[in-house]
A and B are shown apart, each in its own frame.
Chain A
Amino acid sequence: MEQHSYTVLENSCIARDVYRMLLGGPTEAFTAPGQFLDLRLDGFYLRRPISLCDLQPVGPVIVYKVVGHGTAALAQIKTGAQLDALVGLGNGFDLTKGGDAPLLVGGGVGTPPLYYLARRLREAGRQVQVALGFQSAADAFLCAEFRALGCTLHVATADGSLGQQGLVTDVLPPEAGYVYACGPLPMLRAVAAATACDGQYSFEERMGCGFGACMGCSCETKNGPKRICKEGPVLEKGEILW
């Protein structure tokens, strides 16, 4: 973990209530896709944990959805503003376990960390399939970016306005060899049940500190209690207690 001040270089709406923010500043603390940063926002006591969507030479990219007061305030921040962030938090995804043709499964705002994961996997020469679920076409984002990486993309929307009508589990390609998943808990459960293969699942929990000090975000696993912010957010399928 490191603490740095970042310059907001971009903060733009890319889908309904979804924003992409480019932060200018150090990236060295990030060691794996699936890690997150923890932003200090004026007027809010606790920091806001947001997953890393990409690392660019100039700094980290986050994609977030406005779901409450904190993210609403984040969406109002103007280019040029300074943001204090704790960076390089969480364990992140282990790329070495995914085999030659991993499947990435994302639901809604669980999609962003899969982008950086996909880019790294593609750079390592893997065949990457991506299955994404959104509420509707207006809520969808990053689809073109995944295609531009050379991923095979399967999209489901609840109302059928983009891709296949249904849930992300309706568009999972058969015979996946390994799964990387990030999304709401019901989606993670459904993906784990729908796929026989091993995988890594990224979880969300309400956090106090974001770096392992308060034990606020703990969950029980087959390997004992784990802090989502420290030993997570990524858990191995075999250790998860659903």
Chain B
Amino acid sequence: MVDTRVSLAGVALQNPVIPASGTFGFGYEFAALYDINILGSLVLKGTTREARFGNPTPRIAECSSGLLNAVGLQNPGIDAVIANELPRLRACYGGPIIANISGFSIDEYTACCEKIDRQAQVALIEVNISCPNVHGGGMSFGTDAKSAAAVTAAVKAVTTKPVFVKLTPNVTDIAEIARACEAAGADGISMINTLFGMRIDLKTRRPVLANRMGGYSGPAALPVALRMVYQVYEAVKIPIMGMGGIASAEDVLEMMLAGATAVQVGAANLVEPFACRDIIRELPACMERYGVTKLSEITGGAH
């Protein structure tokens, strides 16, 4: 009998498989498909202080191995998430919840985190710092070590829950950003967010996305994500939630060997709604196949 349990910054998970933000809604709709209590945890749709519609459509573009999205953080706002979405999720899910918080200023991050901090079932906060900083010339918080550290410190000051900072891969040195977050008090790192890309329609000769550019996710991101998780594992001591192209139990093991303590599944949910269930089902046999009896022991095993 293999042991799939992991501990993520003190939060006990029955397995390390977690649907990623933006690919699982607020969870309850997947409960109509399968018992989502089998999940290690789940990450809520990215939430901002105010309600957002997001970007104009089309905001999805297919790629040969994945997709681009420019959804633009559509969500009903933190108050509606707490009032409407969390109760619906609680009705069908008793496990730990990871809230995902975004903002366009430090005030927005802290306002959301203060409110979500009071939600008992939220075990952990994931802070998405890939958004543009409207007070910083529009540059993403996550592409500058000082801005990343400033968000981290501000959020840590208003919550007692573990804070994982979700890093964008669209930087020169992701280890430097991760170190800055760790120094500012982050309890963990989530990585990687989507890779910035675009597609062009040959018939119209215009970008496919109305927003012109968007974030790539899908199986082709896996080697990039593995490389970055591997690098950050050597740069920081805090745990890593690894994501980027995960689609199978073997991918989970590979991501953990690179340095992840838990693993998020993103794009795969969009093409195979049962992806997380299937990965969790195949995990024990996959562990046996590779001689793993205690999953938590393989984190960073490739170093």
- Chain A contact residues, CB within 8 Å of chain B: 1, 3, 40, 44-47, 86, 205-209, 211-220, 225, 230
How distant is the Cα of A166 from the Cα of B277 in the complex, in angstroms?
52
For the complex of A and B, list the 10 residue pairs with the smallest distance between their C-beta atoms, beginning with the closest.
A216-B60, A209-B270, A206-B58, A208-B60, A215-B74, A46-B62, A215-B71, A206-B60, A208-B270, A214-B270
Choose one: B25, B30, B65, B71; the contact of A45 (CB below 8 Å).
B65
Kindly list chain A residues whose C-beta atoms are within 8 Å of the C-beta of B53.
218, 220, 225
Q: How far is the CB of B293 from chain A (nearest CB, A)?
A: 33
Q: How far is the CB of B289 from chain A (nearest CB, A)?
A: 25
Q: Indicate if B218 sits at the interface (CB-CB under 8 A).
A: yes
Q: Let me know if B29 and A44 touch, CB within 8 A.
A: no
Q: Indicate the size class of the contact surface on chain B.
A: 20 to 34
Residues of A within 8 A of B270 (CB): 46, 208-209, 213-214
B197 at the interface (CB under 8 A from A): no
Cβ–Cβ < 8 Å partners of B32 in chain A:
1
Given the interface pairs A206-B58, A217-B57, the reply to whether A212 lies near B271 with Cβ below 8 Å is no
* B residues at A contact (CB < 8 Å): 22-25, 29-30, 32-33, 45, 53-54, 57-67, 69, 71, 74, 218, 267, 269-271, 273-274
Known: A44-B62, A45-B65, A45-B218. A211 touches B57 (CB 8 A): no
Are B273's CB and A46's CB within 8 A?
no
Taking A45-B267, A212-B25 as known contacts, 4 extra A-B pairs with beta carbons closer than 8 A to each other, sorted by chain A number, are A213-B24, A215-B74, A218-B57, A225-B53
Tell me, rounded to whole Å, the shortest Cβ–Cβ distance linking B193 to chain A: 15
Residues from chain B with a CB closer than 8 A to the CB of A209 are 23, 269-271, 273
Is A45 a contact of B60 with CB atoms below 8 Å? no
Residue of A nearest to B64 (CB): A45
User: CA A60 – CA B132 in complex, angstroms?
Assistant: 46
Measured CB to CB, the nearest residue on chain B to A209 is B270
On whether A225 and B74 interact (CB within 8 A), knowing A1-B32, A206-B57, the answer reads yes
Is the beta-carbon distance between A214 and B22 smaller than 8 angstroms?
A: yes
A216 nearest CB neighbor, chain B only? B60
B30 and A213 form a contact (CB under 8 A): yes
Interface centre among A207, A212, A213 (most CB of B within 10 A): A213
**Residues of chain A contacted by B62 (CB below 8 angstroms):** 44-46
Residues of chain B lying within 8 A (CB to CB) of residue A44? 62
What is the bound-complex CA distance between A3 and B23, given in angstroms? 18
A162 to chain B, nearest CB (A): 27
A240 CA to B119 CA in the complex, in Å? 36
In the complex the two chains form, what is the Cα distance from A44 to B271 in whole Å? 10
A225 to B53, CA, bound (A): 7
Give the distance to chain A from B134, nearest Cβ to Cβ, in Å.
22
CA gap between A213 and B25 in the complex, in Å: 5
Query: Do residues B54 and A208 form an inter-chain contact, with CB atoms below 8 A?
Result: no
Q: How far is the CA of A211 from the CA of B23 in the complex (A)?
A: 11
Contact of B23 among A46, A214, A219 (CB under 8 A): A214
* Contact assessment for A218 and B271 in the assembled complex, using a CB-CB cutoff below 8 Å: no
Residues of chain B contacted by A40 (CB below 8 angstroms):
271
Minimal beta-carbon separation of A212 from chain B (angstroms): 6
C-alpha spacing A206/B69, complex, angstroms? 11
With CB as the reference atom, state the residue of chain B lying closest to A207. B60
Instruction: Give A215 to B55 CA distance when docked, in angstroms.
Output: 11
Q: Are B33 and A1 in contact (CB-based, < 8 A)? A: yes
Contact A45 B273 (CB under 8 A): no
- Cβ of A86 to closest chain B Cβ, rounded Å: 7
Taken together as a complex, chains A and B put the C-alpha atoms of A206 and B56 apart, in Å, by: 11
Q: Which residues of A contact B60 (CB under 8 A)?
A: 46, 206-208, 214, 216-217
B271 touches A211 (CB 8 A): no
